Structure 1
Amino acid sequence: MFDFSTPVNRYGTYCTQWDYVQDRFGEADLLPFTISDMDFETAPCILEALQQRLTHGVLGYSRWNHDDFKHAITGWFANRYHTPLNPETIVYGPSVIYMVAQLVNQWTAPGEGVLIHTPAYDAFGNMLAANQRALLASPLLKTADGYAIDWAQFEAQAARPDCKVLLLCSPHNPTGRVWREDELTRMAHICHQHNVKVISDDIHMDMAFKTYIPWSQVAIDPHWAIVSSGSKSFNIPALTGAYAIIADDADRAAYLTQLKAAHGLSSPSILGDCPYRGLQQRR
């Protein structure tokens, strides 16, 4: 983003946040604090990339598996978080929740459990219920300094035979906790000990005031995925599109089979990767 002082009136633009309050909540006179987009213009470098594509005049089928898309992501992690990523581990998806759901279905069977720190983003619970997976809650402890992990309870849940995946939110939504390195390392050891795979939803990573640490920096084994998108950081959710770093070759191949063959999503929105290319060119 570039300008946080000039809000834009979005009424009458089919805006979910402002035009559909009555539709979503049954009352019109409410302030919509439940949706995470912003009333500011999108950054000029992104708008310019979109305008270049539209000026070309052809909106045909596109692809995501190219250096411009992948290097925008690896470059962002390297420059902002000093974290090297292998571009071959990066895959596309239409949304973060779609990608999380596919990985949950890939790594669990119906009736098996997914461990989640609570309170949690409501879409996690809805997604698990719709896919017949059990939500194994690990309630965070409210302290004078914020929220903390109940380690005894967390490990007890991870040790359950039906616990197959930790669905981590990093930074945590809704509490805003930015997990410290020692906390992430301890979670990694517990998950490794109990053969629990890890899906880390890192969509809010760029909005952290404390040091965000990607899961790749603490992972002990390759059975993990980081899922994210530029949609929150750059206020572009309507363009759709997300990405994941899936470390294990077989896990990544299985995900791509679901994406392309099972769900027919091999071609992304032609405008969806424009922001990444715009940001790459801007750096």
Structure 2
Amino acid sequence: MTDSLQRLVSHWALSEVLPLADTHSSKVFTAEYQGIPVVLKIMKPASDEQQSARILHYFDGLGAVRVIRDLREAMLLEKLDPEPHLKAMVQQEQDLEAAAIISNTISALHTKRETKRPDGIRTLEVQFTELFDKARTPCAPSFHNAAGIARRLLSSEQELCVLHGDIHHENILNSERGWLAIDPKGIFGERTYEVANTLCNPVDTPTIVHSSERATQLAKHFAETLNLDANRILEFAFVHACCSVCWAEENKQDTSYAEETIRTLEQLVSL
């Protein structure tokens, strides 16, 4: 047991501590706290989830996992169920059923509608920084197109609220309270952007995601269930896919999947 883990176990008097996951941003354990099952999440120094607890406190259990205790570098969360899994549902030809669960979760997350950006939460314009930077350099036309669309979307933002910022099939899990989102990034901007990443997921399912018919179908579904504009959904998804390539390049990760997603979505947007 590491010193950091031992200190947290002692601080919160945890028992039955077992490793659950080791991701690029955190180490995750199951444990018991005051007789109830919990998840202990310890953020790594370079984690992009440092404000996750703050965003989860903002949602206050509405569509999101509850924070039981937290420190700057760690959180105790209510324990959710790993099964059923939305990614598996998609793989089992239940794509629209999974999308319906995502819609309901987003509706709960967006119950609160702030008209003013809370301090410390970045805007969509900041979210798109790497895309704008790339578009100022010699690059593929898709990134220039995406940057232009992003600026047009930002100039006409509507229905602003605090967004989870990373909704996809593996960030929504089941529980006794229903389906709940985990691992928020926290962004303030048009709520249409909340569904953008879903059109690019689940990862590792290219034959499903890289279908223009599927993207159009999901955009129509989210437009109807969340009262959004289907064209803006597709535009935000295209912009997000281009951002994903920028982020992957910064982290020296493979970009082939995201590049194919760009090609799928670009043909569906008005340039």
TM-score by length of 2: 0.29
Q: Which has the higher contact order (CA 8 A, sep 6+)?
A: 1
More helix by share: 2
